[in-house]
Amino acid sequence: MKTLFKNIKQLLQVRDSGVLKVSGAEMKELPSISNAWMLVEDDRIADFGSMNDAYTGDFDEAVDLNGKMLLPSWCDSHTHIVYAGNREQEFADRIKGLTYEEIANRGGGILNSAETLQKTSENELYEQSARRLEEVIGLGTGAVEIKSGYGLTEDAELKMLRVIRKLKENYQLPVKATFLGAHAIPSEFKSEPKIYMDLVIEEILPEVARQELAEYIDIFCEKGYFSVEDTNRLLTEAKKLGLKPKIHVNQFHSIGGIKAAVDHGALSVDHLEVMTSEDLEILKNSQTIPVALPSCSLFLSIPYTPARDLIDAGLPLALATDFNPGSTPSGNMNLVISLACIKMKMTPEEAINAATINGAYAMELSEEVGSITRGKKANFIVTKEIPSYTFLPYAFGTNSIDSVYLNGKILQHESAKSL
């Protein structure tokens, strides 16, 4: 099946194969073709060019995109989409003056979500999570990473990871799974946190690896959660089982998590709201990609990741949602790119690069998705008629998406199932 998309106002993020991420000043460039065509053959991008050099080959169907733009789907490399229930009561409590930390200290926060998830059946958890996944696909996400970490017992962590596996099987977008058993210390281990780490490392992790339920390992390396020593221990063991680190660091404090991550060859370090110059230097000498989560900063009123410092130091940067019930109850990558521009002073080109090709890199998917490249998966967004691509982050809160495609097929009725 060959479909020709013609009269595309602008075809965005056009790259040769081999560009797996963009760093520093490269992020200012968003290669594009104005007045373009693109040919999709089955589930792949087959070819593209300028309408001035029109496509003359055969095709089965033509779609006229007069005035509309086409860009690769968003690649959301950090989410916690699989969770049960919500935490809107904590939201109201924070408005009244309690802090995120105070709520966590009185047994709320991650432990609150874990209690709910433990009581929720696997089927119900799947149904709630599938609804969220369908919502974000409709918002233009075409590849996603999903973490466990709201189970905090062997049974509940494995339940979460089985739900992620089922989402992978049932939905037509690449899904990567991350084991985040070290997300918070359950209350029963409060006085002996080491025993919980022993459980995660000696019991749960080997089972996750045996059942091949996750590609990545994560830990919340933060004061009051897990130490650098815990991080080193976990990452050492996970590596032996073939799980690469993508870890939560520097959300509230810089305690040495970035160094530990880089020492263990982490694929990404995520959050980074609090950065020291030493942290920046360590990243400059590494292959680890920083990931910023601006919707979390908005929701918790905490600092934004210093994107300018990172990019101006020549580093790559990816943007992701962090979709979760506590710190970011939103999986909207369109809002993420707006916040990146408005609050982090990223240019529209930098934000779109960070949310597409660099997001794909942060999931080891940039040979498959993240740019308009011959041979890549035809996962893309068609915009409404908009004046320029800058309109996407500029018109924050506006839905500028006309339609989304996964594997060359248009999403019907808000559902990406069984395309």
Q: Which residues bind ligand NIG (CB under 6 A)?
A: 109-110, 113, 220, 248, 251, 296, 322, 324-327
Q: Is 150 annotated as a binding residue?
A: yes
Q: How far is the CB of 247 from Zn ion (least distance, A)?
A: 10
Q: Which residue is nearest to ligand NIG (CB)?
A: 326
Q: Return the number of other C-beta atoms located less than 10 Å from residue 68's C-beta.
A: 21
Contact partners, residue 16, CB within 8 Å, separation at least 6: 373
Burial annotation 159-168 (CB, 10 A radius, 16+ → b, else e) = bbbbbbbbbe
Instruction: Pick one of Zn ion, ligand NIG, none as the site partner of residue 220 (Cβ within 5 to 8 A by kind).
Output: ligand NIG
Instruction: Pick one of ligand NIG, Zn ion, none as the site partner of residue 32 (Cβ within 5 to 8 A by kind).
Output: none
Instruction: Pick one of Zn ion, ligand NIG, none as the site partner of residue 113 (Cβ within 5 to 8 A by kind).
Output: ligand NIG
Which is closer to ligand NIG, CB of 21 or CB of 248? 248
Q: Is 7 annotated as a binding residue?
A: no
Instruction: Pick one of Zn ion, ligand NIG, none as the site partner of residue 109 (Cβ within 5 to 8 A by kind).
Output: ligand NIG
Residues 356 to 395 in contact with Zn ion, rule: CB under 5 A: none
Which is closer to ligand NIG, CB of 7 or CB of 153? 153
Instruction: Pick one of ligand NIG, Zn ion, none as the site partner of residue 296 (Cβ within 5 to 8 A by kind).
Output: ligand NIG
Which is closer to ligand NIG, CB of 110 or CB of 351? 110
Burial annotation 102-131 (CB, 10 A radius, 16+ → b, else e) = ebbeeebbbbbbbbbbbebeeeebbebbbe
221 DSSP β-pair partners = 226, 249
Which is closer to ligand NIG, CB of 245 or CB of 325? 325
Q: Which residue is nearest to Zn ion (CB)?
A: 322
What SS3 string covers 155-207?
A: HHHHHHHHHHHHHHHHECCCEEEEEEEECCCCHHHCCCHHHHHHHHHHHHHHH
Residue with tokens 């749960």: 204
- The burial class, CB within 10 Å (0-12 / 13-18 / 19+), for 230 is buried
Q: Is 183 annotated as a binding residue?
A: yes
Which is closer to ligand NIG, CB of 178 or CB of 251? 251
Q: How far is the CB of 23 from ligand NIG (least distance, A)?
A: 24
Residue range at the interface with Zn ion (CB under 5 A); choices 125-133, 322-330, 352-360, 387-395: 322-330
Q: Please give the Cα distance from 25 to 21 (Å, whole number).
A: 12
- Read off the DSSP letter of residue 253: -
Q: How far is the CB of 183 from Zn ion (least distance, A)?
A: 9
Sign of CA dihedral 16, 22, 25, 31: positive
Q: Is 264 annotated as a binding residue?
A: no
**Within 13 Å of residue 319, how many CA atoms lie on the same side as its CB?**
33
Q: Please give the Cα distance from 266 to 304 (Å, whole number).
A: 22
320 and 362 in contact (C-beta within 8 Å)? Answer: yes
142 and 76 in contact (C-beta within 8 Å)? Answer: no
Q: How far is the CB of 394 from ligand NIG (least distance, A)?
A: 27
Q: Please give the Cα distance from 322 to 291 (Å, whole number).
A: 10
Residue 322 lies near Zn ion (rule: CB under 5 A): yes
When computed from its CA atoms, the radius of gyration of the chain, rounded to whole angstroms, is 21
Q: How far is the CB of 270 from ligand NIG (least distance, A)?
A: 7
Which is closer to ligand NIG, CB of 68 or CB of 248? 248
Which is closer to Zn ion, CB of 181 or CB of 408? 181
- Residues of the shown chain interacting with Zn ion in the complex, contacts defined by CB under 5 A: 322
Binding-site annotation, residues = 78, 80, 87, 150, 183, 248, 251, 322, 324, 326-327
Query: Which residues fall in the annotated binding site for 4-imidazolone-5-propanoate?
Result: 87, 150, 183, 251, 327
Residue ranges of the annotated binding site for Fe(3+) are: 78, 80, 248, 322
